[in-house]
Amino acid sequence: MAAISREEVAHLARLSRLAVTEEELDRFAGQLDVILQSVARVGQVAAADIPPTSHSVPLTNVLRDDVVTPCLTPEEVLSGAPDADQQRFRVPRILDEEAAS
């Protein structure tokens, strides 16, 4: 496999609108060549008889199905609140007026 050239790296940098120095062109060319060789090696190892998978282990749903059950009415919930207003819990303000704006 041919190594990626400095010109190709410079072309990719221009397409990506990246400003790279001459020193970076040499460094990136070497790094990109290693990456491309690694990808090619993986392509050689992949066997046609192995089905593609999205996960290495089987996934199981650990959550139960939702079941509708009776619940408290708003009045029952608010009956134990120290203060309520318009079917809501009323609590002390914790932010200054300046922080609210």
pLDDT score, position 68: 92
Reported confidence tier of residue 101, pLDDT bands at 50, 70, 90: low
| Tens digits of residue pLDDT in 64-100 | 889 999 999 999 999 989 999 999 999 888 887 665 5
Question: How far is Cα of residue 88 from the mean position of the Cα atoms in its chain?
Answer: 36
**Three-class SS of residue 45?**
helix
Identify the CATH class of 6-45. Answer: mainly alpha
- 4 close to 36: Cβ distance less than 8 angstroms: yes
Going from N- to C-terminal start, the domains of the chain cover 6-45
Q: What is the maximum alpha-carbon separation in the chain? A: 77
CA gap 84, 81 in Å, rounded? 6
Mean pLDDT of the chain: 86
**Between residues 71 and 58, the one the model is more confident about:** 71
pTM: 0.44
